[in-house]
Structure 1
Amino acid sequence: MRIDRRSFLLALAGSFVAPAFASAADERLYVSSCTDAKGVNRVAVFSAEGGVMFSTALPDRGHDITLSPASNDLVVFARRPGDWAAVVDRSSGNVRTLIRSPEGRHFYGHGIYSRDGRLLYATENDIANGKGVLGVYDVGAGYSRVGEQPTHGIGPHDLAFVPGSEFLLIANGGIRTDPANGREIMNAGRMEPSLALIDPRTGEVKNKTEFGKELSGLSIRHLAMAPDGEAAFACQFEGEDMPQLVGLISKDGRARMLEMPDEDLARLDNYVGSVALDGGGRLIAATSPRGGMAAFWDRETEKYLGLAPLPDVCGVAAAPESGVFLVTSGNAGMRLATAESHDLARVSGSDLDSYMWDNHAEILRS
C-alpha cells in the first residue's frame, strides 16, 4: 500500500519529537532507523554515550540515511521495495516533507546528495523492465523528481562518491524485484551483480566490474569508501556455495575478495548486511545479522582479524577512536567493537537498548 503523504504529515503533528538530552558541542552523534518498544518505526539521533537527541515516527521501516552537505536535512529511505523517503530536520527531528517514488519505480533503500547539496540521487527500480535507475530530485524545488539516469545494472542498492571526482560508485545487487511480490527474487539463477562507476550528470558509465557466471548469485549490496578512493564492498550470496562475502575495489575497477577461514565464513551464513571503515580508513568491519557476527580486516594488508559475536548485528559506523566501531543490533542494543581485539563494550547508561535497530547507522556529526 502506498503511503499517503498528506495524511502521514498531518499525523506527525501529534507525534513525539522531543529532545531527550543536550548534546555537547564536541560529542559525536549518529543516526539510524529503529523500532521502539511499542512497535512504532522511527529514526533516531543519538550519541555513543547513550543519549537520544530525538526519535521521530516514520510511515514504515526505514533503511539507510543520507545527510545534506548544505543544510540541516537528512533523508531516511524506506526499506526495499519502498515508495517513500522522509526528509527530516536533523536539529529538531521534524519531518519536513515526504518524497514519493513515481509510478513504475520504487526505492532500493539508499541515496546520496550531490556534493553541493542541490540534488538528491536515489537508487530505484524500473519495475516493468527490471533495470536499475538513479532517480534525480531537485532539493530547492521541494525534492521534486527532475529526471533519472541508468545505473547500468539490476537492483542498485548502495552508492558513494569517489573522492576527488564527480563519479558515483554504485553497487548493483543483481536482484530483480517487484513491490507486488514483496522481497521475492524474480530472477533467481539469473542475477547480474556488478559495481558500476557512473557520471550522475550524464549517466555515462566510466567503468563496470562484473563477477562472472560462477558468482552470479553474489549480490553486491553495500559500500564503504576510503579517502584514497578504494572502496570496501559487502555481499549476500543466493545459492548453496560459500564464497567470500567482502571485497575491495580500486579506483580503476580492480576488484578482489578478502579471505577469511571457512569456519568463520560459515558463521556469516552467506549474508553481510553492512560494512564500514574505521576513522583512520584502515580497518574494515562487516556485519551479519543472520550469523550474529561482526568480522574485521586490515584494509592495507588485507589481513583477516577475526569475529565478534552479537545477535542480529547489522548497523556499523566508525567510533571516535581509531580501530573502534559502533555496532547496532535488532535485539541486543549497541556495542563499541574493537577490531583487533574483538572486544565488545556495552554503551552504558543509555536508553538505546529499548530500541530495535535497523540495518544501518551513519555518523551525523563527527
Structure 2
Amino acid sequence: MATRRGFLAGLASLSLPGIGWADVGSPAWLTAGRAGEDYVLHGLGPAGESLFAIPLPARGHAAAAHPSRAEAVAFARRPGTFALVIDCFTGALRHRLTPPGGRQFNGHGAFSADGALLMTSEVVAEGSQGRIGLWETEGYTRIGEWGSGGIGPHDMKRLADGRLVVANGGIETDPADRSKLNIDRMRPNLALLSPGGEVLEIAELEPALHQNSIRHLALVGGGVGFAMQWEGDPAEPVPLLGLWTPGGAPILCPPAPEDAFTMQGYAGSIAASGGRVAISSPRGGAVMVFSDQGAPLATLRRADICGLAPLGTDFAASDGGGGLWRIAGDELIPLRHAPVAWDNHMVPVG
C-alpha cells in the first residue's frame, strides 16, 4: 500500500521538461549587434531571420549557448566585466556574472557537454595572466578557476572527449585603456587542458611569428583551426590560419600568393564546415576559404565582413552593414538584410 511519504517522494523525483531551443524557434546562431544606439543579442534562424532580440547594456562580443536549455550567456566586448545569463524564451535576465576583483572577462566562454558547468576566459587585469573561470549553472555560482596556460586567453573550444583547447593571445594589455604592453616579447600559444583543468600540452608558433596573436578557434577533425592577428611589421605578410591536432606541431596555412596582403594582418573569426575552414577579416573586407588540410580554395570580398558559422556544409557570414550571407563554393549569396550592425561572431546553437 502506497504511503503519503512515498507519494510525495515520487512527486519530488519528477522533473518537468524545461524550455529548450525548439521552444524559441530553433535558432541556428546567436550574434550580437547594434541597432541605432541600442545593443542587442539576436537568435537567428538558418535563413537569417531574427527569432528573438534581447537588449544588452553595452557592446557584446560572443555568446555561449547552453546545450539544452534556451539560455545564453552574452559576454561584454573584451576586456569586460559583465556576462549576462539570459532566458531566451522570456528575454529575462537570469543572472549577471561578475569576475573576482582584479579580473576581467575576455569575450568568450563554453559550456561542458552536459551543461552543468560554464567556463569563462578571463585575465588578471594587472599582467593579463590567463584564467578559466568555473561556474555551476543552476544558480551560476562561481566554484573555482583554472590557469589558462598563458597570457590573454580569448576563445576556447571543448573537444569531444571533454578536453579544452584555449587560445592564449599572448598580449598583455593595460587594464584601463587596452593599450598593448608587450608586443616585443609576446608569446601566444594553444593550451590543451584536461577535463579537470590540468595543462596537458602547450603548442607555440616558431619564434619568428611570436607576434602572431592566436585569437579564435573552430573544431577541425580531432583538433582545432585557429585564426590569428599579426602585431608585427604590416609590410611582412604572414599566415593568419593554422591547424593543430594535440600531440603534433601547429601547421600554418598561407593564402594564395596574390592574396598575401588581403586580410591586412587581421583574422576576426573562423568556422569549419564541409571539409573546409574559413577565416574572415573586417579590416580587409574578405573571407578566405581553405581545405581542412590548409590549401587555399577561394577569396570572397565584402566590406566589414566578420561573423562566420557553419550552414549545412556551407558557411554563414555577417557584416557590419546588416548583411547576412551564405558562402557556397566561391560564391557569396545574400540571405537577408537587417537594420543591425552585426558584431564579430555568429555562435552556433546546438
TM-score by structure 2 length? 0.89
- Aligned with residue 162 of structure 2, among 162, 166, 169: 166
Residues 100-122 of structure 1, C-alpha deviation per residue, up to 9 Å, x if partnerless? Answer: 12211001100111222111111
User: Whole-Å Cα distance in 1 between the matches of residues 256 and 242 of structure 2?
Assistant: 15
Give the CA deviation at 1:24. 9.8
Judging changes above 3 Å, is the alpha-carbon distance between structure 1 residues 327 and 119 closer, same or farther for their aligned structure 2 residues?
same
Which residue of structure 2 aligns with residue 330 of structure 1? 320
Which residue of structure 1 aligns with residue 203 of structure 2? 209
Which residue of structure 1 aligns with residue 6 of structure 2? none
Judging changes above 3 Å, is the alpha-carbon distance between structure 1 residues 310 and 177 closer, same or farther for their aligned structure 2 residues?
same
Residues 194-242 of structure 1, C-alpha deviation per residue, up to 9 Å, x if partnerless? Answer: 00101252x321110011331111000000013x312110000001122
Judging changes above 3 Å, is the alpha-carbon distance between structure 1 residues 231 and 31 closer, same or farther for their aligned structure 2 residues?
same
Which residue of structure 1 aligns with residue 91 of structure 2? 93
Judging changes above 3 Å, is the alpha-carbon distance between structure 1 residues 41 and 252 closer, same or farther for their aligned structure 2 residues?
same
- Aligned with residue 136 of structure 2, among 112, 135, 138: 138
What SS does structure 1 have at the residue aligned with 2:300? strand
Give the CA deviation at 1:50. 3.9
What SS does structure 1 have at the residue aligned with 2:338? helix
1:246 aligns with 2:241: yes
Which residue of structure 2 aligns with residue 31 of structure 1? 30
1:178 aligns with 2:174: yes
**Which amino acid in structure 2 is aligned with residue 154 of structure 1?**
I
Residues 257-312 of structure 1, C-alpha deviation per residue, up to 9 Å, x if partnerless? Answer: 0121233120100000000011x3x1111100100000001114x32112101111
Which residue of structure 2 aligns with residue 150 of structure 1? 147
User: Whole-Å Cα distance in 1 between the matches of residues 190 and 277 of structure 2?
Assistant: 19
User: Whole-Å Cα distance in 2 between the matches of residues 97 and 86 of structure 1?
Assistant: 6
What SS does structure 2 have at the residue aligned with 1:263? helix
Q: Conserved in 2, the CA contact under 8 Å of 1:311 and 1:332? A: no
| 1:1-366 paired onto structure 2 within 5 Å | 29-36=28-35, 38-140=36-138, 142-163=139-160, 165-181=161-177, 183-201=178-196, 203-226=197-220, 228-240=221-233, 241-278=236-273, 280=274, 282-300=275-293, 302-320=294-312, 322=313, 324-338=314-328, 340=329, 342-348=330-336, 352-364=337-349
Give the CA deviation at 1:332. 4.5
User: Whole-Å Cα distance in 1 between the matches of residues 27 and 68 of structure 2?
Assistant: 19
**Which amino acid in structure 2 is aligned with residue 308 of structure 1?**
L
What SS does structure 2 have at the residue aligned with 1:359? coil
User: Whole-Å Cα distance in 2 between the matches of residues 129 and 308 of structure 1?
Assistant: 38
Q: Which runs of 4+ in 1 moved over 4 A?
A: 22-25
User: Whole-Å Cα distance in 2 between the matches of residues 170 and 332 of structure 1?
Assistant: 30
Judging changes above 3 Å, is the alpha-carbon distance between structure 1 residues 71 and 303 closer, same or farther for their aligned structure 2 residues?
same
Which residue of structure 1 aligns with residue 11 of structure 2? none
Taking every aligned residue pair, what percent have the same amino acid on both sides? 35
User: Whole-Å Cα distance in 2 between the matches of residues 265 and 90 of structure 1?
Assistant: 42
Judging changes above 3 Å, is the alpha-carbon distance between structure 1 residues 134 and 319 closer, same or farther for their aligned structure 2 residues?
same
Give the CA deviation at 1:167. 1.2
**Which amino acid in structure 1 is aligned with residue 169 of structure 2?**
G
User: Whole-Å Cα distance in 1 between the matches of residues 148 and 24 of structure 2?
Assistant: 41
Give the CA deviation at 1:179. 2.8
User: Whole-Å Cα distance in 1 between the matches of residues 24 and 54 of structure 2?
Assistant: 21
Judging changes above 3 Å, is the alpha-carbon distance between structure 1 residues 93 and 194 closer, same or farther for their aligned structure 2 residues?
same
Which residue of structure 2 aligns with residue 13 of structure 1? none
Judging changes above 3 Å, is the alpha-carbon distance between structure 1 residues 118 and 48 closer, same or farther for their aligned structure 2 residues?
closer
Could you tell me which runs of 5 or more consecutive residues in structure 2 were left unpaired when the two chains were aligned: 1-21
Could you tell me which runs of 5 or more consecutive residues in structure 1 were left unpaired when the two chains were aligned: 1-21
User: Whole-Å Cα distance in 2 between the matches of residues 24 and 129 of structure 1?
Assistant: 41
User: Whole-Å Cα distance in 2 between the matches of residues 103 and 262 of structure 1?
Assistant: 47
TM-score by structure 1 length? 0.85
Give the CA deviation at 1:23. 8.9
Give the CA deviation at 1:138. 1.7
Instruction: Select the structure of larger CA radius of gyration.
Output: 2
User: Whole-Å Cα distance in 2 between the matches of residues 70 and 353 of structure 1?
Assistant: 28
Judging changes above 3 Å, is the alpha-carbon distance between structure 1 residues 28 and 70 closer, same or farther for their aligned structure 2 residues?
closer
**Which amino acid in structure 1 is aligned with residue 302 of structure 2?**
L
What SS does structure 1 have at the residue aligned with 2:261? helix
